[in-house]
Amino acid sequence: MAGAPLFATLSLIAGLAAGTASAGDFATFVPIGFSDDGKVFAFEEYGVQDGSGFPYSNIFFIDTENDSFLDGTPYRVRLDDEAATVGGARAAAVGEAIGLIQQYSLLDHPGWLAAFNPVTEEDTGDTLDYRSHPNLSPVYQLSLEDFPLPARSACAAVTEDGRGYRLTFTPPEGESRVLHADDRIPASRGCPLGYRLGGVMTYLDAGSPVHVALVNVLTQGFEGPDGRWLALPFKP
């Protein structure tokens, strides 16, 4: 694998290490980019772990055709030291992920953050209307609803009912279609108490456009609610 110029690598680390986490463990979302053909999308979530105060950074590489992680990913870094910094955790995660970032030229294809609805926005977080590009393109809609599912046994002390979600896409013309509907709660989500539609990434340079719905998973943390990110790719 050809190495990227040192400047590009240092610029990536500096860019990703900017910013700080706030109180409450709601991970911050940072898009990294798409491969040239749109078949790979990567993003980072970072923050300070609720309770322990340990900083962490997780970098995900998603196969947008199969809605699955690339082999050997995600990269997860947690610095088990209260004196450690978020910037240190993020730089360490970039150090692990830089090979794939270079391999797929992700920094060359950032795509568009077509819509974003952070948890600080005073909104229900269940519907987003967006354009795929900052021009007069058609308006698409995503809607999310959550519903009760049997809780995993490991979550009995947290909640009586588990929560799943259903995500529906409505194009400018034509029928709405369900992109995802849970029939069980995967262990990777922990004990979800609810969901919030957090945003949409789009990439239009591939043979066919790729959209990625961003969903915030809300769970019960040590000192209050926590939030982590899911990314669901789909064809519009």
Residues 95-105 have pLDDT tens digits of 999 999 999 99
**Both 103 and 34 in a single domain?**
yes
**Where a domain ends, among 64, 81, 110?**
110
**Both 138 and 219 in a single domain?**
yes
**Where a domain ends, among 75, 110, 145?**
110
**Both 39 and 133 in a single domain?**
no
Q: How many domains does the chain have?
A: 2
Of 35, 34, 56, give the one whose Cα is nearest residue 45. 56
Asked whether the bond before 74 is cis by omega within 30 degrees of 0, the reply is: yes
- The residue behind tokens 């400047």 is 7
- The residue behind tokens 């591939």 is 206
| Whole-number percent of the chain with pLDDT over 70 | 89
pLDDT of 215 > 60? The answer is yes
**Both 62 and 122 in a single domain?**
no
**Both 14 and 65 in a single domain?**
yes
Structure tokens that stand for 83 in this block? 């004196």
C-alpha pair distances (Å), 1 with each of 98, 108, 147, 201, 209: 11, 17, 46, 28, 28
pLDDT in tens, 113-129: 999 998 888 877 799 99
Q: Print the domain residue range for 53.
A: 1-110
pTM as predicted: 0.89
**Where a domain ends, among 110, 141, 159?**
110
**Both 91 and 121 in a single domain?**
no
Structure tokens that stand for 17 in this block? 């290490």
pLDDT of 19 > 50? The answer is no
Angle between helix 6-16 and helix 86-103 axes, rounded to 10 deg: 140
**Both 95 and 122 in a single domain?**
no
**Both 88 and 129 in a single domain?**
no
DSSP class of residue 2? P
The pLDDT value recorded for residue 24 is 59
pLDDT of 1 > 60? The answer is no
